[in-house]
Structure 1
Amino acid sequence: MLVNPWAFVVATIIMLPIGFIWYNPKVFGTIWMREAGIIPDPAQKGNMLKIFALTLLFAFMANMLLQTIVVHQMGAMSLIGGAMKADSAKPSYTAFMADYADAYRTFKHGALHGCLTGIFLGLPIAGTSALFEKKSWKYILINSGYWVVCLTLMGGILCSWQ
């Protein structure tokens, strides 16, 4: 196993506190609501349990992909057919992992790849949807910025916590 399960859990959950801060009215919340056309009405609250549960599910899904991007050793593991086949792999795999199992396993390296994933995957996805929804650049940058920050921290956690 190349990613610590606790790192995976923390990297998944971290999206919630980042969202609480990012979309707080004192940070970007007021601007985001205005740009999204949301009028805060205390009488109309969404199903917060459903929203948070789906947020965690989506974060889990993002981490499934992100771990393969930030932990380079997963590429070597995929070449042998996954962790289940590590015992039957050729000696070259064992030698490679002995030499490089900890290479580039730092917070800084994972954060770099997480940030690049946010910029080159999160921004285009959020931006394209927002353009067709006829949203402003402020809206695009606030939502994409959230994903860049989340993926940066998630990548750092996944990569460094062994």
Structure 2
Amino acid sequence: MNINFLALFVAALSTLFIGFIWYNPKVFGTIWMKESGLTEEKMKGAKMPVIFIMALFFAFLITMIIQFLTIHQWGAFGMIGGGNAIDTKPSYAAFMADYGTAFRTFKHGAFHGFLTGLFLAFPMIATNALFKRKSWKYTFINSGYWTICFTIMGGIICAWQ
């Protein structure tokens, strides 16, 4: 199997678009700033181009894992040892001929992305928020953002063949 870097990049890019909406002052931006302890003045002093580039880079790293959680065919690839084994294992070719596109839909990838957000992102953000003494509003805004991002990312990655 080959990694579809274009799909991963588009999925990573989607996090910025979702963030522009999610953290807009008319949606959750104002509440998020208050719960994070940020002000307009603090926000203006930030180097936003660097922040956006790094956010895109980190989102791309996340997509590298999301693909393995949403595309089940990676399991078959791993079972044969990957790499050159594709050319030498007729059982892998037969498996891929039968199941190569099974569950490769946006809906299926979105489902696994949602589960990843619910059972990975939420507990991590909630744990950090507890130790930082942040509110549940802060926790739900941030974990909600990542759950939606993982859902969309999973859908894009799984459906893009």
TM-score of the pair, normalised by structure 2: 0.94
How far apart are residue 2 of structure 1 and its match?
Answer: 4.8
- Report the 3-state secondary structure (helix = DSSP H, G, I; strand = E; otherwise coil) of the residue aligned with 1:82: coil
Aligned residues: 161
Runs of 4+ in 1 over 4 A off after TM superposition: none
Corresponding residue number in structure 1 for 2:37: 37
Question: Which amino acid in 2 is paired with 1:87?
Answer: D
Q: Is the 8 A contact 1:110 1:158 kept in 2?
A: yes
Deviations 1:81-125 (A, max 9, x none): 22443112x221111111000000000000000000000000011
**Residues 90-109 of structure 1 correspond to what in structure 2 (within 5 A)?**
90-109=89-108
CA contact (8 A) 1:2 1:73 kept: no
Question: Which residue does the alignment assign to 1:56?
Answer: 56
SS in 2 for 1:81: coil
Q: Which residue of 1 aligns with 2:18?
A: 18
1:69-148 equivalences under 5 Å are 69-88=69-88, 90-148=89-147
Q: Distance in 2 between matches of 1:43 and 1:77?
A: 45
Q: Structure 1 40/109 Cα, relative in aligned 2: closer, same or farther at 3 Å?
A: same
2:23 maps to a residue whose letter is Y
- Residue 46 of structure 1 corresponds to 46
Tell me the secondary structure at the aligned position of residue 133 of structure 2.
Answer: coil
TM-score (norm 1): 0.94
Percent sequence identity over aligned pairs: 57
5+ residue gaps, structure 1, are: none
Change (3 A) 1:12 1:43: closer
Give ranges in structure 2 of 5+ residues lacking alignment: none
Partner secondary structure for residue 46 of structure 1:
coil
Residues 106 and 2 of structure 1, relative CA distance in 2, 3 Å threshold? farther
Q: CA deviation at 1:49?
A: 1.8
2:43 and 2:79 map into 1 onto residues whose CA distance is 54
Aligned-partner Cα distance in 1 for 2:156–2:70: 10
Higher mean displacement: 48-57 or 132-141: 48-57
Query: Alpha-carbon deviation of 1:15?
Result: 0.7
Q: Any idea what SS the aligned residue of 2:40 has?
A: coil
